[in-house]
């Protein structure tokens, strides 16, 4: 049934391409479709020799016709027919892995071929009880053990969340929307293991997704760990955690203790620590890595006495524990919790009666109501709960109460533009580059209310606008991108990196290569989240350029070498540690890739210009 539904989805994707855009999108879309026909069917499911030959013949025919839409349609239709005929006469056989005996019970997954490598994939391993009924808004509880072999071969549910409809079916947004059913029963993790024994045991990399603590899923295609595991010989794990009010409602007491999503992550990390040895890994080389809110989570795990013993190293992509959105004031969290209860018709005074009412409320209604609480970047998020997070991050860091290890942390060149597309769609239209007038520029700065201070707004306008040459003032859009990117992400990341580097090894980077096969228009630059495809190796598999493949290969190598030994360096290039003498960081400019270096090192002078907002006060 998987193959049939895949073929149907391919047909639907083709039908959605309008007449006007068919010619423009033909080459890219058809390449992707052909790749899916070739790889997804033949790599993931054992169909039998004759059917594989049919699929291969059709794939070759489609390529020979320059991947015409009509030929792809024929390929899909014939494969559908062949699949139906095959399924009517034989039983579909899955290629199972060996049974792995975990601390909770035995499991088996699926064997997946990735190029010339083989990876064992385990989808949907439970690490906690379903947080439903009386467990809603509570910290997670360990699951019940089992004795029979559990087949972990199906992608798990995604945790309940609102679905972004701002840009319709635009692929740039659709890539971040969960494709598995939304459910409160969502606390599962996934594991990718290269086949074969390894001496010494393999390093493990645990991915924590972003999404403003209100969305995300471990099963997104962009987070598929197959390529990273196969290419770099590491174990890759991804986990689900609760988001929105289900993951971060805080009442100031045990009714809804807050940080439920972070406690989900902690329980998953404990499972990895306790079980990775059964998969050929070592509990002494576990690296957690994440992006945006996922990176913020990683930074908070460095500070938490509950979780920092379950991993060895950390990688933070576009986020950290000091970002303005990483931790929410308790008073604000409590206020929004009361407002949520009131909007749902529940008692707004915190009590067992209010909790009981919220636990009985329809989960979809709860999720839909979240949008009325605030339009902040993070509506409900982590708090200082005196349990997972004992004190404010800056105080814990200042007193040295932080994990003693090595970290990679960094940013993307155009961090702000993604959010400006949502906040000011009239000034940042998706269809064209858009031009801001000076009056629009000032209004945007005031509306964003940087640091909640009018003096700061004036300083920003002076720093960013007054120093721009008249001939350059049409680039105000880019200036607003710089301001918001610095404020939301870069300044606080640099502050954390500098502080942590006083006593630890820190490797700071700036990702500045725009991948060629992404859906967003070129003028959006190197947006928030753009590095993820390179980290997970998607350019190695799909229709990207040689330069993209080179960047991806470098990033996978840096990330995994760091996970294995705490130092990302290799023979061909030196990535310096961050020092107190000046801001040194690894930069990945677009044009440098042609030298096949992939990254170049820039001096502190470049860094000073790159983070202008950090000096504004």
Task: Indicate which residues carry an active-site annotation.
Answer: 292, 415, 528
> Where are the strands (E) in 281-391, listed by range?
281-291, 313-317
Structure token pair of residue 300? 């908070």
d(CA 526, CA 129): 39
d(CA 447, CA 300): 29
- Indicate the SS3 state at residue 126: strand
Paired strand residues for 192: 121, 236
Q: b/e for 549-568, b at 16 or more Cβ within 10 A?
A: bbbbbbbbbbbbbbbbebeb
d(CA 598, CA 590): 9
Residue 383 CB contacts under 8 Å (≥ 6 apart), including other chains: 248, 250, 258, 259, 327, 328, 329, 330, 333, 389
Paired strand residues for 289: 207, 315
- Cβ-count burial of 47 within 10 angstroms (0-12 exposed, 13-18 middle, 19+ buried)? buried
- Cβ-count burial of 371 within 10 angstroms (0-12 exposed, 13-18 middle, 19+ buried)? exposed
Q: Does 200 sit behind a cis peptide bond, omega within 30 degrees of 0 on the bond before it?
A: yes
User: ∠ CA(215), CA(218), CA(220), 5° rounding?
Assistant: 85
Please give, one letter per residue, the 3-state secondary structure of 367-401.
HHHHHHCCCCCCCCCCCCCCCCCCCCHHHHHHCCC
User: ∠ CA(443), CA(448), CA(453), 5° rounding?
Assistant: 100
What residue has token string 């992400």?
489
Structure token pair of residue 105? 């019970």
d(CA 338, CA 343): 9
């Amino acid at each position: 049934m998987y193959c049939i539904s895949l073929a149907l989805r391919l047909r639907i994707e083709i039908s959605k391409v309008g007449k006007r855009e068919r010619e423009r999108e033909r080459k890219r879309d058809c390449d992707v479709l052909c790749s899916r026909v070739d790889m997804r069917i033949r790599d993931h499911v054992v169909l039998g020799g004759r059917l594989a030959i049919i699929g291969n013949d059709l794939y070759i025919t489609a390529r020979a016709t320059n991947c015409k839409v009509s030929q792809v349609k024929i390929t899909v239709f014939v494969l559908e027919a062949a699949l139906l005929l095959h399924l009517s006469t034989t039983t579909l056989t899955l290629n199972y892995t060996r049974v792995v005996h975990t601390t909770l019970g035995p499991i088996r997954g699926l064997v997946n071929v990735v190029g010339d490598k083989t990876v064992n994939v385990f989808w949907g391993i439970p690490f906690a009880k379903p947080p439903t009924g009386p467990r809603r808004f509570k910290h997670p509880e360990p699951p019940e053990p089992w004795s029979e072999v559990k087949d972990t071969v199906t992608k798990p549910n995604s945790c309940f969340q609102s679905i972004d409809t701002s840009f319709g079916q635009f692929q740039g947004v659709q890539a971040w929307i969960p494709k598995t059913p939304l459910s409160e029963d969502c606390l599962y993790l996934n594991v990718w293991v290269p086949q074969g024994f390894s001496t010494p045991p393999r390093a493990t990399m645990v991915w924590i997704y972003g999404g403003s603590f209100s969305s995300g899923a471990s099963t997104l295609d962009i987070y598929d760990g197959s390529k990273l595991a196969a290419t770099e010989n590491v174990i890759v794990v991804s986990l689900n955690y609760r988001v929105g009010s289900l993951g971060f409602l805080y009442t100031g007491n045990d009714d809804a203790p807050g940080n439920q999503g972070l406690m989900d992550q902690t329980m998953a990390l404990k499972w990895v620590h306790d079980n990775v040895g059964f998969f050929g890994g070592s509990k002494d080389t576990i690296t957690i890595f994440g992006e945006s809110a996922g990176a913020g989570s990683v930074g908070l795990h460095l500070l938490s006495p509950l979780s920092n013993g379950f991993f060895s190293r950390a990688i933070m992509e576009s986020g950290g524990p000091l970002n303005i959105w990483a931790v929410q004031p308790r008073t604000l969290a409590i206020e929004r919790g009361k407002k949520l209860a009131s909007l749902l018709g529940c008692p707004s005074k915190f009590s067992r009666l209010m909790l009981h009412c919220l636990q009985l409320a329809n989960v979809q209604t709860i999720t839909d109501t979240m949008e009325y609480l605030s339009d902040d970047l993070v509506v409900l998020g982590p708090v200082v709960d005196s349990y997972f997070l004992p004190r404010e991050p800056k105080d814990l860091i200042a007193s040295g109460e932080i994990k003693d290890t090595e970290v990679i942390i960094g940013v993307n060149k155009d961090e702000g533009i993604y959010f400006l597309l949502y906040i000011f769609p009239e000034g940042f239209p998706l269809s064209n580059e858009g031009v801001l007038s000076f009056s629009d520029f000032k209004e945007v700065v005031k509306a964003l209310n940087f640091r909640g201070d009018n003096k700061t707004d004036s300083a920003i306008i002076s720093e960013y606008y007054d120093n721009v040459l008249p001939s350059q003032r049409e680039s105000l859009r880019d200036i607003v991108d710089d301001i918001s990117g610095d404020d939301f992400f870069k300044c606080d990341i640099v502050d954390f990196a500098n502080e942590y580097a006083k006593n630890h090894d820190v490797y700071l980077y700036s990702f500045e290569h725009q991948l060629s096969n992404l859906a967003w228009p070129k003028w959006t630059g190197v947006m928030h989240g753009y590095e993820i495809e390179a980290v997970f190796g998607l350019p190695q598999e799909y229709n990207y350029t040689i330069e993209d493949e080179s960047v991806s290969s470098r990033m996978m190598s840096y990330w995994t070498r760091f996970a294995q030994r705490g130092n990302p360096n290799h023979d061909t290039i030196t990535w310096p540690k961050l020092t107190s003498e000046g801001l040194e960081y690894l930069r990945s400019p677009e044009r440098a890739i042609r030298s096949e270096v992939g990254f170049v090192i820039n001096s502190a002078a470049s860094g000073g210009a790159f983070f202008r907002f950090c000096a504004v006060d």
